[in-house]
Amino acid sequence: MDSMSRREALKAMGLLGGAALAAGCTPGRIVFGWYPTRFKDDDELVRPVLAALAGAVVPGSGLDEVSLSRPFYDERFPLHGYRGYLAADLCERTWVEFRQGRFDLLTVRDRVRVIESGLSADDTTRSLYTGAVFLTQLAFYSGFYGDAGCPEIDFDGRFRPGPPGTRTYPDAETYLAEPVGVGGNYA
């Protein structure tokens, strides 16, 4: 029986470890960029996939899906750096589930199934999907990309002074304490 040299053993372990990382270790796939290159370089592919994700997360919003996906491109949010991987993962899960390579071509019901698959995956993938869902909903319901607010939850947006009674109780004076002077006497 031939014995394996130390160098050959280390090489074999390295190949096995690399294969394990590539096959199922999400942090490794993200850090080393082990996902299809087309999702790293082609924004015309990534944008509709993320727009479809946003449309599934906030259905019936009345906004176009591209506007809903705006937070994925905002450099102020950490998810910005993972949008290529997220799009690749969505398309990979779409292929596994429906034998179709484009997440954005699915119906909303099927998109939700793919998103639920990501939400029930390993810890890192679950965190990524949870962040994507919450960020999309936060951007929509808070209205932080526009001044219009969110009519779905009766949020008018930023404060705008208006006539008395529109932002306070119509009889606010009845809820206030009696004015007190410097000496402690009522005015």
Most confident stretch, 27-31, 98-102, 122-126, 157-161: 98-102
Query: Residue 179 pLDDT more than 70?
Result: yes
Per-residue model confidence as pLDDT tens digits over 37-57: 777 778 888 899 999 999 999
Q: Is the pTM of this model over 0.85?
A: no
At residue 30 the predicted structure's pLDDT band, cuts being 50, 70 and 90, is low
Q: Write the single-letter amino acid at 136.
A: T
* φ and ψ of 150, to 5 deg: -140, 100
The residue among 154, 128, 129, 7 whose CA lies nearest residue 56 is: 129
Separation CA 94–CA 104 (nearest Å): 9
